[in-house]
Amino acid sequence: MLPVLNVGPLAIQLPGLILLAGIWIGLNRIEAAGRQRSMNVERLSSLVFYALLAGIFGARLGYVAQNLAAFIPRPLDVFSISAQMLDAPTGMAAMLLTGFIYVQRKRLDFWQVMDALTPGLAVILMALALMNLSSGNGFGVAARLPWSIYLFDEWRHPTQIYDFIFAFAIWRVLESNPRDAILPDGFRFLTFVVLSAAARITVDAFRSENVLSGFGGVRVTQMIALLILLGALVVMRRRRSSYKEVEQ
């Protein structure tokens, strides 16, 4: 865990820096994937920009909505510059909605866009794992294993490292798929969704901070990931069938 990098008098917040680097590298990978597919790279970049902007606003609005009582006496604090007052799920929803509206308005091919975004998403997934390793978030349950890490007064499963290994493997699989040219549009993205949901189900079994669902030791995030995985498999199956019909 290294949340702050002290360089001389400067105290650099490493998790934020890792995330920014991840987004920057991810954007480069998205542009490269767009060029490879002869897509309008400028439109892809605009899509990512608007989606990120909407994500930040959405995340703040989500946080305010969930903590309304705290904001009522100080309404102007809604606009305070603070990276902490963000709600990730709402931000994600706002990002997806804005992206979807942009794709519709500019009449872009939805599945082609999702395929072009996939390498960037895989890079950001790796950055998120490293970010958590740096900040200590998403820590594992206590376990005395040869590869355990010492965190918050306990030897624990290094869940952030598990996350990174899975994310790296997913990125390698997606970036080295030579059959991509003959796959239906959207398959690269759906493969990413299936693999990352499977990774979530696996790693969350060792995470300490997630809420249990009430079904034994199964966590809420694992159940959501399972539903997403099954949904993605169904869409894959449908797209494969319609692709075969078009080919015939």
Amino acid at 170: I
Q: Which is nearer to another protein, 69 or 246 (CB)?
A: 69
Q: Which is nearer to another protein, 68 or 246 (CB)?
A: 68
Angstrom distances, CA of residue 33 to CA of 30, 112, 246: 5, 10, 25
Angstrom distances, CA of residue 72 to CA of 11, 39, 67, 68: 34, 46, 9, 6
**Dist. CA 48–CA 21, nearest whole Å:** 15
Q: Which is nearer to another protein, 137 or 213 (CB)?
A: 137
Q: Residue 67: what are its φ and ψ, rounded to 5°?
A: -130, 45
Q: Which is nearer to another protein, 142 or 198 (CB)?
A: 142
**Dist. CA 248–CA 246, nearest whole Å:** 6
CB 95, min distance to another protein, A? 22
> Which residues, numbered 4-43, are part of the site for another protein (CB under 8 A)?
4, 6, 11, 13
Torsion of CA 231, 169, 159, 82, to 10 degrees: -80
Nearest CA-CA partner of 45 in 90, 108, 125, 3: 108
**Buried b / exposed e across 108-135, counting CB within 10 Å, b at 16+?**
beebbbbbbbbbbbbbbbbbbbbbbbbb
CB 213, min distance to another protein, A? 16
Q: Contact with another protein (CB under 8 A): which of 52, 85, 173, 205?
A: 85
Q: Give yes or no for residue 242 binding another protein (CB under 8 A).
A: no
Q: Which stretch binds another protein (CB under 8 A): 28-36, 104-112, 145-153, 217-225?
A: 145-153
What does DSSP say about strands 154-156 and 4-7: parallel, antiparallel, or unpaired? unpaired
Enter the tokens of residue 225: 């990931």
Q: What angle do CA 158, 165, 161 make, to 5 degrees?
A: 20
Q: Contact with another protein (CB under 8 A): which of 41, 57, 137, 235?
A: 137
Q: Contact with another protein (CB under 8 A): which of 24, 49, 152, 215?
A: 152
Q: Which stretch binds another protein (CB under 8 A): 33-41, 105-113, 129-137, 218-226?
A: 129-137
Q: Which is nearer to another protein, 11 or 227 (CB)?
A: 11
Please give the DSSP secondary-structure letter assigned to residue 6.
Answer: E
Site string for another protein, 60-79 (x = CB under 8 A): ---x--xx-xxx--x--x--
Count other Cβ atoms within 10 Å, centred on residue 160: 27
Q: Contact with another protein (CB under 8 A): which of 136, 180, 228, 233?
A: 136
Q: Contact with another protein (CB under 8 A): which of 209, 212, 227, 238?
A: 209
- Interface with another protein (CB under 8 A): 1-4, 6, 11, 13, 63, 66-67, 69-71, 74, 77, 80, 82, 84-85, 135-137, 151-153, 208-209
